Structure 1
Amino acid sequence: MTEQVVFEKLERDPLHERVHRELRSAIIAARFEPGQKLTVRAISSAFGVSTMPVRAAFARLAAEKAVTALANGTISIPLLTREQFDELIELRMLLEGIATEKAARVITDEEIEALQLIAGELHEAAQANDADAYLRLNQQFKFAIFKAARAPALEDLIERLWLQIGPFMRHYAADIRGQLDTDRYDAVIAALRRADGRTARAAMEEDVAGGAVFLKRVAVFAEAPTEPPTGK
């Protein structure tokens, strides 16, 4: 009879994975502000866990350029330079436009109705000047479209962009009602209903561009690093 080898059961979802997922979602949803300092101890306390899974989660987020580890052990939500912001917006317009065009080909009636409900709640949040609700619903609306595109690799690329630019959307709080002038949710939904990918893509690109104009007006940017003088 062969000896039976016994292994400890592995958790399906390790603790550090859950911490990473929650922090990642919070960054994408603009629950942190650019430049905000976080400590491992405070986040560990908030989650009710030891520091080890939090350190592991922050290490992964740093590799994803979502946070910066400072010399004193503090974690910072990065500030962006204007150049970095412009590059991220350009990439968002490209990838989110493609995702929206793809979604127009395959999105279901049920998914469109869900988007319509979110858009209504977004309008109410903007009218009430409720920044937290608006930011949460804005992210929910956009990612519902990206998921409807049935393009996981594309959705992952967009998430990586939002990890870097998500906190900057916190600046929308300066004038939530003003977002009603730049939002193109109704135009996006109308084009999706018609399966008009080109128009849906253009509306999404306009939505991203309009938001960027507002953010550049109110946001605080990091100074671009100066190039060291070159010797002869």
Structure 2
Amino acid sequence: MTDLTEHASNSKIRRPLAGQVHDVLSEMLLSGALAPGDRMSMRELAEKLGVSVMPVREAVTRLVARGALSVAPNRAVRVPVLSRAEFQDLTEIRIHNESFAARLAAAHVTPGEEPRLRMLENAFRDSMKSHDVREAVRTNKALHFDVYARSGSPMLTEVISVLWLKAGPIINLDVGQQVRRSRNAASVENHRKLVDALIAGDGDAAAAALAEDIRSAADFILSRDILGRSEEEI
């Protein structure tokens, strides 16, 4: 299991407990702090978060309903390992929704917002030069979700958040792997094109840059053959 203790110690769990536990677990999935195949018991989660098992059970049930977690017969909580076919399907759905969000966002960016967008872009670029995997994952998520929030569509942003609950652990296999260094330049360039397009108000270019960022990451993950296989693929 990845960084659970750190996330728990940095999180202030307040009432309603189930909602707060859900937020903590969601952030761990979104940021890639949990990896595909990670397992944990509900009691372990409760102890780390300093709460009883009941709110953990409620939070896990919500995430299971969204396909972000699964529960084994022995009640162990597990981060699902998607098959290649499932991951490819998820990738296409992400591209459709997230590129649309980028297109919408381009219509809402004002000149005064350029400094923040450049700050987020620079933070991501700088993180890719370091060996701090968690910072690279964090800055990637920060830039993406800043763009989605600018779409002006809370419902679309919510849809994207649900998709990222499934994609977050896998995104970490791309952004968080040292072996990907050979394609860092492409990631940085895609983010630069995205920010340039947003500032220029070019929705088509923003959508294209966002789509290329997702697709290039997916191609890298698929090339490493680290996903599961469905019965049809075996």
The two structures have a TM-score, normalised by structure 2, of 0.87
Counterpart for residue 208 of structure 1: 214
Matched residue pairs, number?
216
How far residue 157 of structure 1 moved from its aligned partner, in angstroms, is 0.9
1:206 maps to amino acid: E
Contact 1:171–1:218 under 8 Å retained in 2: no
Separation in 2, partners of 1:63, 1:126: 34
Separation in 1, partners of 2:158, 2:32: 18
Per-residue CA distance 1:71-128 (angstroms, 9 max, x = gap) = 0010100000000000011011111110000000012334432221121111111111
Separation in 1, partners of 2:45, 2:113: 35
How far residue 49 of structure 1 moved from its aligned partner, in angstroms, is 0.6
Contact 1:168–1:219 under 8 Å retained in 2: no
Residues 1:16 and 1:110: Cα distance change in structure 2 (over 3 Å): farther
Separation in 1, partners of 2:111, 2:73: 51
Residues 1:13 and 1:103: Cα distance change in structure 2 (over 3 Å): farther
How far residue 27 of structure 1 moved from its aligned partner, in angstroms, is 0.4
Contact 2:91–2:215 under 8 Å retained in 1: yes
How far residue 25 of structure 1 moved from its aligned partner, in angstroms, is 1.3
How far residue 179 of structure 1 moved from its aligned partner, in angstroms, is 4.2
2:197 maps to amino acid: A
In structure 1, list runs of 5 or more residues that go unmatched. Answer: 1-11, 228-232
Residues 1:111 and 1:225: Cα distance change in structure 2 (over 3 Å): farther
How far residue 226 of structure 1 moved from its aligned partner, in angstroms, is 5.0
Residues 1:225 and 1:53: Cα distance change in structure 2 (over 3 Å): same
Contact 2:85–2:229 under 8 Å retained in 1: no
The two structures have a TM-score, normalised by structure 1, of 0.88
Separation in 2, partners of 1:109, 1:42: 48
Please say which of residues 78-87 and 212-221 is displaced more in the overlay.
212-221
Residues 1:52 and 1:97: Cα distance change in structure 2 (over 3 Å): same
Counterpart for residue 6 of structure 2: none
Contact 1:43–1:54 under 8 Å retained in 2: yes
Contact 1:179–1:211 under 8 Å retained in 2: no
Is 1:75–2:77 an aligned residue pair?
A: yes
Separation in 2, partners of 1:136, 1:115: 15
What's the secondary structure of 1:33's corresponding residue?
Answer: coil
Counterpart for residue 45 of structure 2: 43
Separation in 2, partners of 1:193, 1:226: 45
Which of the numbers 168, 178, 183 marks the counterpart of 2:182?
Answer: 178
Counterpart for residue 4 of structure 2: none
Separation in 2, partners of 1:36, 1:112: 39
Please say which of residues 167-176 and 113-122 is displaced more in the overlay.
167-176
Separation in 2, partners of 1:117, 1:216: 31
Is 1:140–2:133 an aligned residue pair?
A: no
Which of the numbers 190, 200, 205 marks the counterpart of 1:194?
Answer: 200
What's the secondary structure of 2:73's corresponding residue?
Answer: coil
Counterpart for residue 164 of structure 1: 166
What's the secondary structure of 1:49's corresponding residue?
Answer: coil
Contact 1:111–1:148 under 8 Å retained in 2: no
